[in-house]
Amino acid sequence: MYINKTFEEDPMATRKQEMTNLLCALYIVDARTKTGLPLSHRSIKGWEKSHNAQPSTPFTPEILHAFVMKLLLDRRAEAAVCLAISWAGYLRVSEALARRAENVPLPGDPRVAAYGNEVAGIAILDAKTGPLQFVSIKDRNCITLLTCYMKKLSNIGDTLFTIKYSTYAAQLKKVTSFFNVTHLNFTTHSARIDEALHGFMRGRKAEDIALKGRWNSLTSLRHSLTTGRAWLMKMNITDQQTAKIKQYSSNMVQTTEPYRSCV
């Protein structure tokens, strides 16, 4: 497997080099099966020509944290937790919304003991790619948020979320409007694909991402990464928008108190 890491290591690289590196990083997914993105120099030039007015600003975890915090402050705890675990566990929204509390072991539960003392999990009884699958959740903020939320449930047999898919999508749309970033085209599956893309850019093997995220195949994952790449190339956030996002993001990351009361 080949990955060009210059995109991460050289922040002063020219925009053309950044684009070339990003595309090269997605070029070879699996050297054994030759599954990947066959992008030629010609296609790179075509991509550059059609997007030369758009600076590349990654859709970062900071933005996701800001979205989660805003949902919590709006008393949309279900949507906030669903968004967080979709990102941390590469979950499809349909997989997250269908959970029961009894299928979400928290740190200390024997079902996640093999993963360590600070890991939670999501048991998926009927996933798109097969029955009885398990996803570990390692992000500290997500685990704290999930723990606080589950303590509010009356019993372990409760459905984790009662909101419908359409309601979740509508609440996300309101959040993007609040931050004035509707141009990010943040969909209900953006968190899942975004974290997969960033994990791939950080050097995580495509096979590992595909297994954890329960993609049907490397071809399916390739399609998701292509979609994520398109988002990365279209990011355009002003200083004012960035400041607002950082304000909300820091509230979630630096202390758990603001969202302990919100859930």
Q: How far apart are CA 169 and CA 157, in angstroms?
A: 25
Question: Are both 199 and 157 inside the same structural domain?
Answer: yes
In a domain, 130, yes or no: no
Greatest C-alpha distance within the chain = 59
Phi, psi (rounded to 5 degrees) for 28: -110, 115
pLDDT tens string, the chain, 263 residues long: the values are: 333 333 333 444 443 333 333 333 333 333 333 333 333 333 334 333 433 333 333 457 788 889 999 999 898 999 999 999 988 888 888 888 878 888 899 998 888 888 888 899 888 877 666 677 888 898 888 898 998 898 888 776 678 888 999 999 999 999 989 998 877 767 777 777 777 887 787 788 888 888 888 887 887 788 777 766 655 555 667 778 888 888 888 877 665 555 555 55
Considering the domain architecture, whether residues 68 and 40 belong to the same structural domain is answered as: no
Measured in whole angstroms, the distance separating CA 260 from the mean position of its chain's CA atoms is 22
What is the predicted pLDDT for the residue at 82?
Answer: 92
Residue 39 shares a structural domain with residue 147? no
Mark whether 79 and 167 lie in a shared domain: yes
What SS3 state is found at 4? Answer: coil
Q: Let me know whether 64 and 173 are in one domain.
A: yes
Q: Model-level pTM?
A: 0.70
145 and 84 assigned to the same domain = yes
Q: How many Cβ atoms from other residues are within 10 Å of residue 240's Cβ? A: 9
Is residue 99 one of the residues assigned to a domain? no
153 and 223: one domain? yes
From residue 251, how far is each of 42, 137, 149, 180, 246 by CA, in Å?
Answer: 45, 21, 17, 19, 9
List all residues 6 or more positions away from 107 whose beta carbon is below 8 Å from its beta carbon: 117, 118, 119, 120, 143, 147
Q: Are residues 8 and 79 in the same domain?
A: no
Note whether residue 71 is domain-resident.
Answer: yes
Tokens of 74: 């709006």
Q: How far is CA 118 from CA 136, 137, 141, 159, 248, in A?
A: 10, 9, 11, 24, 25
First to last CA, the chain: 43
Three-class DSSP category at 179? coil
pLDDT tens sequence across 95-147: 888 788 888 999 988 888 888 888 998 888 776 666 778 888 988 888 989 98
* Residue 13: domain span: 1-53
Whether 74 maps to a domain, the answer reads: yes
φ, ψ for residue 75, nearest 5 deg: 60, 35
Give 159's DSSP letter.
B
Q: Does one domain contain both 28 and 147?
A: no
Domain count, the chain: 2
Tell me, yes or no, whether 7 and 76 share the same domain: no
Q: Which of 199, 247, 243, 202 is nearest to 224 (CA)?
A: 199
The token duo for 211 is: 């297994």
In a domain, 115, yes or no: no
The answer to whether the CB of 74 falls within 8 A of the CB of 150 is: no
Question: Residue 70 has what pLDDT?
Answer: 92
The predicted pLDDT at position 202 comes to 77
Return the pLDDT at 261.
59
For residue 132, being part of any structural domain is answered with: no
**What is residue 110's DSSP assignment?**
G
Residues 6+ apart with CB under 8 A from 258: 69, 72, 73, 251, 252
Residue 116 lies in a domain: no
Do 19 and 82 have their domain in common? no
111 lies in some domain: no
Strand partners, 159: 100
Residue 236 sits at the vertex; the CA angle it makes with 231 and 239, to the nearest 5 degrees, is: 140
Q: Are residues 33 and 161 in the same domain?
A: no
